[in-house]
Amino acid sequence: MPGAWFETIFDERYPELFGPLEGNAEREVEEILGLLAVPPGSAVEDLGCGRGRHSIPLARRGYVVTGVDLSDKMLGIARARALREGVSVEWLREDMRVFRRPGAFDLCLSLFTSFGFFNDRENQRVLDNVGVSLKEGGILLLDLRNAGKGLSRLEDWDQTIEVPSGTLWMSVRFNRRTMRATAEHVLTRQDGIRISSAFDVRVYSMDELGMMLGKAGMRVKNFFGSLSGDPFTDESGRMVIVSSKE
């Protein structure tokens, strides 16, 4: 029986299907370090690290990085790249609903919408685990899609773009009853072969996240509309929340 969507879509198809939406990770790392005063040598957890897009540049800058991900495929890509580039990262195949390492990290990063995949109880559990894993005063940066505007106005959308390997059709549907957004991506490769994937996340408001973070022993310190620190507005593309362990 196939597993939950988040156990199956993060495989070799992912870079083709979702890669075109990714930003430049080297620049994002610079931006994150510009937002947060976390010196090299600090222990960083990259939660849902995927292919190590941010873990590897952070390790290269002298951070002690632990990349946590459920997908063997993504971790395999990350490991191979780190090896090629001579960078040391601790890669862990762990479920973020379970993984905790008490008082271990100065910073936890959850980047490119790597939070909200589960039901409310499990999503809270992920934050509880982060709360336990951070040192006192440690920081969590959550980088989420600002889907609140979609939910409030039911802004479903479809878009087709040309990407290096073919034509990518993307659709996002918001469900006000479940407060979830479903994204479907279908890539038609130049040879006519089609591959597809669907993503389903709970969309939390800033207030809901503030309460959930509070329950997990953290307090919101700042929020932005991008990793480069733009002010957060209803129209922002991202919702970037910086909180710290009290």
What are the residues binding ligand SAM (CB under 6 A)? 6, 10, 48-51, 53, 68-71, 74, 95-97, 111-114, 117
Least Cβ distance, residue 235 to ligand SAM (angstroms):
22
Query: Where are any strands of DSSP class E within 52-116?
Result: 64-69, 90-93, 105-110
Least Cβ distance, residue 246 to ligand SAM (angstroms):
25
State how far the Cα of 133 lies from the Cα of 111, in Å rounded to an integer. Answer: 17
Least Cβ distance, residue 191 to ligand SAM (angstroms):
26
Least Cβ distance, residue 99 to ligand SAM (angstroms):
7
**Cβ atoms of residues 185 and 168 within 8 Å:** yes
Of 24, 16, 21, 26, the closest CA to residue 55 belongs to 26
Least Cβ distance, residue 166 to ligand SAM (angstroms):
21
144 vs 218, beta carbon nearer ligand SAM: 144
Residue 101, burial from CB neighbour count under 10 angstroms (0-12, 13-18, 19+): middle
Residue nearest to ligand SAM (CB): 50
Residues 6+ positions from 69 with CB-CB distance below 8 Å: 10, 48, 49, 50, 75, 78, 91, 92, 93, 94
117 vs 174, beta carbon nearer ligand SAM: 117
**Cβ atoms of residues 5 and 184 within 8 Å:** no
118 vs 191, beta carbon nearer ligand SAM: 118
10 vs 174, beta carbon nearer ligand SAM: 10
Least Cβ distance, residue 95 to ligand SAM (angstroms):
4
Here the tokens at position 23 are: 């930003």
State how far the Cα of 40 lies from the Cα of 5, in Å rounded to an integer. Answer: 36
38 vs 58, beta carbon nearer ligand SAM: 58
